[in-house]
Chain A
């Protein structure tokens, strides 16, 4: 099992010469030493800051077209050039990045919440609850993800638009569907951690003190199972960004006037050879984000599980 039980600080031998670190301090220390993971973190923070703050400084409209400057090259009058309608590519990349990264973060949250709840109840309750929840997990694991995603988003997009409005409808539909189809790995990890942690002494102590079952699950066991959950969450962000771009690429994602990096690639893909920066820049945005996230995930995995060799 990967999780290491957190010993209460007070229970440790009080040696004044030894600096006492909590488990998370220890993990952060190991993460910092992981060069590529730190680079990933810096790149990711930079990208998020850029897409959030960029439009405040660079105020060109991502939607205003001007045929006089269509397909302008990079580093001329426009830093990233323009697209086939003369729209500013840098502004479009900023707005697309906001939505792509937001999809990644929201879909990850949905997936982690479902996965943690299912895994926690299955591992803690055991018996029939475990059997049924595990079979449901298996069933979802066997669903072919991309085809089902394609199908559900295509079939339910009009309905979602009606209920939540044109943009929010698609956003929540995509986020929800990606989350609902990717929680299984987290559920299995959490179930495993809960199975091994629930018979530990600190859980018994909490029982003896009269802590409720939910209190034991979420206040006492969950903090000790966080390591693998954080790793899964990190990798999920990258996966969700790719999945959204795949949906956009297949033409069932966001509408063309609400750019994400994926939908930008999709709408410019036929301009390859004519306007390369328009199609390649958003694709590189996805690539750099996912690469940074994957390196961070690797660093976190090593940080939370020091026994894992590199």
Chain B
């Protein structure tokens, strides 16, 4: 077990290095100058421009800068934002909580919906309810999140006027009233993300269950005279959950990147919103840090999926 885990971690490190190298190369080789802002300003003399460039380390070739970036990263530093003129870690600390809260709650809600609905609709695959579930989930995965978001805004903000259209980031969470407002404004972003993920997950639970239900061991359990309930929950569901659990882990980064769009619709000042504005401002250190965090999330969730799969499925040998 320990060696299996260790081997997976050892595989993860080079792929993180590879990804960070690729992203750094894309950012460095792209045409365009992060200091264009100063270049366009005629009041900034050429030598001042050069000095700024030097002070930011931009006069060195990019492979050298990459090694330096890695060195800083090993100290837990992501560099200094050009635009905000503050350490990138400060910006991240400010933005991450919003995204984590919305994404985390949405994912939990999606799970709470997906498992029972998926199991029940697989248990009666020919029933009308099961067909309706499969229709709704298909619509759910085909609806672009911006359309769901816009419809919710139209219904709840414009027509009914009961939920705020724009996320207010200055709400103080020291009173009951503040909390109420915070919950109210989080409802729509969470709902959009939860709906989208619940659709995909329900379909996955359903198809995993449908694969297991015709198996011999399920027939054996029935033949032994167990109740249908216990056959489905204790036997079929337990085996179906193995691929589902790994999917939950693998999909997590997708939820974070999906949040980029929801944050844009509702103007939540999360990490995705920071990425979009930093890309537009050519704020390279911030962009690099955020894309690296997303990549680390992808690699980490693949690692978790591998390990969980290994733990849950005894057929996987830890040799």
Q: Interface SS of chain A: helix, strand, loop or mixed?
A: helix
Contact of B147 with A151 in the complex, beta carbons under 8 Å? no
State the main secondary structure of chain B at its contact with A: helix
Does A131 reach chain B (CB closer than 8 Å)? no
Question: How would residues 64 to 84 of chain A score, 1 for a CB under 8 Å from any chain B CB and 0 otherwise?
Answer: 000000000000000000000
Per-residue A-contact encoding for B260-290, CB less than 8 Å = 1, 0 else: 1100110000000001100110000001001
- Closest residue of chain B to A154 (Cβ to Cβ) is B279
0/1 interface trace, chain B 130-172, chain A, CB 8 Å (1 if under): 0000000011011110110011011001100000000000000
Binds A, one of B26-34, B59-67, B91-99: B26-34
| Contact A144 to B295, CB < 8 A, known contacts A155-B27, A156-B30 | yes
- Closest residue to A156 on the B side, CB-wise? B30
Q: B142 and A152: CB pair below 8 A? A: no
Candidates B147, B157, B264; contact of A250 at CB < 8 Å: B264
Q: Roughly how many angstroms separate A155 CA and B280 CA in the complex, as a whole number?
A: 9
Whether A291 is near chain B, meaning CB under 8 Å from some CB there, is yes
Say whether A145 contacts B257, CB under 8 Å: yes
Question: By the criterion CB–CB under 8 Å, are A273 and B214 in contact?
Answer: no
CA distance A142 to B257 in the complex (A): 13
Q: Is the CB of A238 within 8 A of B142?
A: yes
Q: Check if A122 is an interface residue, CB within 8 A of chain B.
A: no
Residue among A158, A287, A295 making CB contact with B143, cutoff 8 Å = A287
Cα(A290)–Cα(B140), bound, Å:
11
A246 contacts across to B, CB distance below 8 A: 144, 146, 261
Among A260-282, those with CB < 8 Å from B are 265, 269, 272-273, 276, 279-280
Q: Is A234 an interface residue (CB 8 A)?
A: no
A137-160, CB under 8 A of B: which get 1 and which 0? 011001111111011101110110
Q: Which residue of B lies closest to A268 (CB)?
A: B150
Please tell me if the beta carbons of B290 and A147 are within 8 angstroms of each other in the complex: yes
Q: Which of A142, A148, A280 contacts B150 (CB 8 A)?
A: A280
List, in ascending order, chain B residues with CB within 8 A of A280's CB: 147, 150-151, 154
Per-position contact with B for A116-147: 1 when CB-CB < 8 Å, else 0?
A: 00000000000000000000001100111111
Q: Do the beta carbons of B253 and A287 come within 8 Å of each other? A: no
B280 adjacent to A154 (CB under 8 Å)? yes
CB of A242 within 8 A of chain B?
Answer: yes
Which residues of chain A in 34-67 are interfacial with respect to chain B, using CB atoms and an 8 Å cutoff?
Answer: none
- Asked, given contacts A147-B257, A238-B142, whether A158 binds B264 with beta carbons under 8 Å apart, the answer is no
Whether A287 lies near B147 (C-beta < 8 A) is yes
Which residues of B are found within 8 Å of A159, using beta-carbon distances?
Answer: 30-31
Which residue in chain B gives the minimum CB-CB distance to A248? B146
> Is B77 interfacial (CB 8 A cutoff)?
no
In chain A, what residue has the closest Cβ to B260?
A: A146
Picked from B18, B146, B151, B279, the residue with its CB within 8 Å of the CB of A150 is B279
Q: Which residues of A have CB within 8 Å of B298?
A: 142-144
Q: Roughly how many angstroms separate A276 CA and B157 CA in the complex, as a whole number?
A: 13
Is B51 an interface residue, CB under 8 A from the partner?
no
Which residues on B sit within 8 Å (CB–CB) of A202? none
A291 & B138 in contact (Cβ 8 Å cutoff): yes
Interface: A103 (CB within 8 A): no
A250 touches B276 (CB 8 A): yes
Q: How far is the CA of A274 from the CA of B257 in the complex (A)?
A: 30
CA distance A269 to B144 in the complex (A): 14
A45 to chain B, nearest CB (A): 18
Asked if B294 is at the interface (CB within 8 A of a chain A CB), the reply is yes
- A246 closest partner in B (C-beta): B261
Residues of chain B within 8 A of A28, CB atoms compared: none
> Which one, B19, B26, B265, B279, contacts A139 given CB within 8 A?
B19
A294-B138 contact, Cβ under 8 Å, with A155-B27, A283-B147: yes
Cβ of B23 < 8 Å from any Cβ of A?
A: yes
- Which residues does chain B contribute within 8 Å of A286, judged by CB atoms? 144, 147
A273 & B26 in contact (Cβ 8 Å cutoff): no
**Which of A147, A152, A280 gathers most chain B CB within 10 Å?**
A147
Cβ contacts under 8 Å, A310 to chain B:
125, 210
**Provided the pairs A142-B19, A143-B22, A250-B264 are in contact, do residues A150 and B275 lie with their beta carbons within 8 angstroms?**
yes
- The residue on B at minimum CB distance from A289 is B142
Q: 6 tightest CB-CB pairs across the interface, nearest first?
A: A155-B30, A144-B294, A273-B158, A291-B142, A146-B257, A283-B147
| 17 A-B interface contacts by CB (under 8 A) | A142-B16, A147-B260, A147-B294, A148-B23, A151-B23, A158-B32, A159-B30, A246-B144, A250-B260, A272-B153, A272-B154, A283-B144, A283-B146, A284-B147, A290-B144, A291-B142, A309-B214
A-B contact sample (7 more), CB < 8 A, given A144-B291, A284-B147, A310-B210: A150-B275, A151-B26, A151-B27, A245-B144, A269-B150, A276-B154, A309-B211
